[in-house]
Chains A and B, each alone.
Chain A
């Protein structure tokens, strides 16, 4: 199921503005990789190139190579829509579809891709909600609107929605930044569980969170505003936090930044 991601020499642009430069890194299957770094250094931008969401922004384009196992994501014959089915995404702010019930939200990915059959959908919805640790809280009100849940529940609903289409990779852009500590913990536990099946990449501003959930950590930085962000260092989380190879990483982690 889970796949390896291999990025080499990736440059990311917004029109003429180069937002990220020269990223080369590997993400192992069934592992959690955390992206850390100061605001504006291009973590979200880079993350969104991994499922070709970057190009939905007008002017967004990419140079370089992203391999998913042995498939080149940016090869000319690859359909970005199909890529996004393989590489799912959870956003910073919970964004359930407001017109849909809890059930419909989870089933949305399948239904909109033409899967029918109540039995099959029932199964997937239950499995995905279970997978997102939400089933017990919502099983009696599946027909209620998804927007009526608490923020933390909504975020788990969005995770359920993302895993319902059975992606190989799950990208998460600050999935806990809008949540309270309890909900955050629930999501972190969930990430640790999902790791056994998915390749996970998570952007976070929370050092403790990166240290808690990730196997590998990548530190991004930018020289100055207006300059492109760069990958400074990527290594085992243990190493990054205890014995970083670059001074800037150490400064950032210990809060002596800037």
Chain B
């Protein structure tokens, strides 16, 4: 038991230690959180990561805002209503989506967005690719949580003369709430660290860009990727610092989600 625990802990601590020791010092500098990399070359020190942090947050949240309703409603359909052929087909499609490699999702949206429609590569296209990756995670985790809600609770509500849809909204979803949030966060953490679709649809740029519909939007993963082959020390430091920032960001989101889940969870 303890052996397994240590075995799991070693790589985790190792990663954290490496990232903190190599990039931690940059995060202590306030310009990391306020400046972009505009006009800063690989051999120069300084600049910050705010452009990439903003990009990652904007894209992550947009993806979540699109994926959560789709995913949760699909899960509700599958668990509460789905019978017969259509439900089987939907479930099968979710299975397939789960298995789609992220680079394929990126290429698919590229083919659609750029090749077919002739649009420019923008942040929103990245979000669409990420939605493809996040929806199946949300569907599957929400499904599990809805299945955990005892049937007796549904029956108790029906027996009070409550219609089915209201039972789902007012009894089933609140009971499964904290579990659903956890699933959403897992999905979000996955897409925020995703890199392949970003390389195809949203190459790195050095300055702040907050418009999802015009221009390239820099993100932490693409920032990391950009300089990872550099040998100059300032750039290398920034790669580690960006990695640490990404880890912290996801950690923070998880904590926030936990608080939300705690507030709305089953009372004991």
A165 at interface (Cβ–Cβ under 8 A)? yes
Given A82-B161, A112-B166, 16 other A-B contacts at CB below 8 A? A53-B158, A56-B155, A81-B158, A81-B163, A88-B159, A89-B159, A91-B159, A97-B156, A97-B171, A98-B175, A99-B175, A108-B157, A112-B167, A144-B267, A147-B267, A165-B160
Interface residues of B (CB under 8 A from A): 83, 150, 152-163, 166-167, 170-171, 174-175, 177, 264-268
Q: Is residue A145 contacting chain B, with contact meaning CB distance below 8 A?
A: yes
Q: CA separation between A235 and B153, bound complex, in Å?
A: 34
Chosen A-B contacts, 11 in total, with CB atoms closer than 8 Å, are A56-B154, A58-B83, A86-B161, A89-B159, A98-B153, A98-B266, A108-B160, A112-B171, A113-B161, A145-B268, A158-B156
Specify which of A82, A89, A98, A161 lies most central, judged by the most chain B CB atoms within 10 Å of its CB: A98
In the complex, which residues of chain A have a beta carbon less than 8 angstroms from the beta carbon of B170?
A: 112
A195 interfacial contact with B, CB 8 Å = no
Contact A162 B159 (CB under 8 A): yes
A202 to chain B, nearest CB (A): 15
Q: Tell me, yes or no, whether A226 is within 8 Å of chain B by CB.
A: no
Please give, as numbers and ranges, the residues of chain B lying within 8 Å of A100 by CB-CB distance: 267
Q: 8 closest Cβ contacts across the A-B interface?
A: A85-B161, A145-B267, A109-B160, A89-B159, A95-B152, A84-B161, A98-B266, A99-B174
Q: Is the CB of B160 within 8 A of A85?
A: yes
> In the complex, what's the smallest C-beta–C-beta distance from A225 to chain B, in angstroms?
24
Q: A99-B267, A147-B267 are in contact. Are A84 and B153 (CB under 8 A)?
A: no
CB distance from A80 to the nearest CB of B (A): 9
Question: A216 an interface residue at 8 Å Cβ cutoff?
Answer: no
Judged by a CB distance under 8 angstroms, whether A245 is at the interface is no
Most chain A CB atoms below 10 A, which of B152, B161, B162, B267: B161
Residues A90-137 near B (CB distance < 8 A): 91, 93, 95-101, 108-109, 112-113
Which B residues lie within 8 Å of A89 (CB)?
155, 159
Q: For A96, what are the chain B residues with a Cβ–Cβ distance below 8 Å?
A: 156
- The answer for the CA separation of A112 and B189 in the assembled complex, in Å, is 35
Give chain A's interface residue range (CB within 8 Å of chain B). 20 to 34
CB of B155 within 8 A of CB of A53, answer: yes
A97 touches B268 (CB 8 A): no
Contacts of A83 in B (CB 8 A): 161
Kindly identify, within residues 57 to 101 of chain A, every residue whose CB is under 8 Å from any CB belonging to chain B: 58, 81-86, 88-89, 91, 93, 95-101
Complex Cα gap A51–B177 (Å) = 30
Cross-chain contact B266 with A147 (CB below 8 angstroms) = yes
Closest to B83 in A: A58
> Is there an interface contact between A91 and B268, defined as CB atoms closer than 8 Å?
no
User: Which of A85, A91, A99 is close to B156, meaning CB atoms less than 8 Å apart?
Assistant: A91
A148 contacts B by Cβ under 8 Å: yes
| Chain B residue contacts of A101, Cβ below 8 A | 267
Give chain B nearest CB distance to A222 CB in angstroms.
Answer: 24
A53 to B155: give the CA distance in the assembly, Å: 8
Q: Which of A157-188 contact B (CB under 8 A)?
A: 158, 161-162, 165
Least CB separation from B149: chain A residue: A98
Distance between Cα atoms of A70 and B53 in the complex (Å): 69
Does the CB pair A148–B166 fall under 8 Å?
no
Minimum C-beta distance from A104 to chain B (A):
10
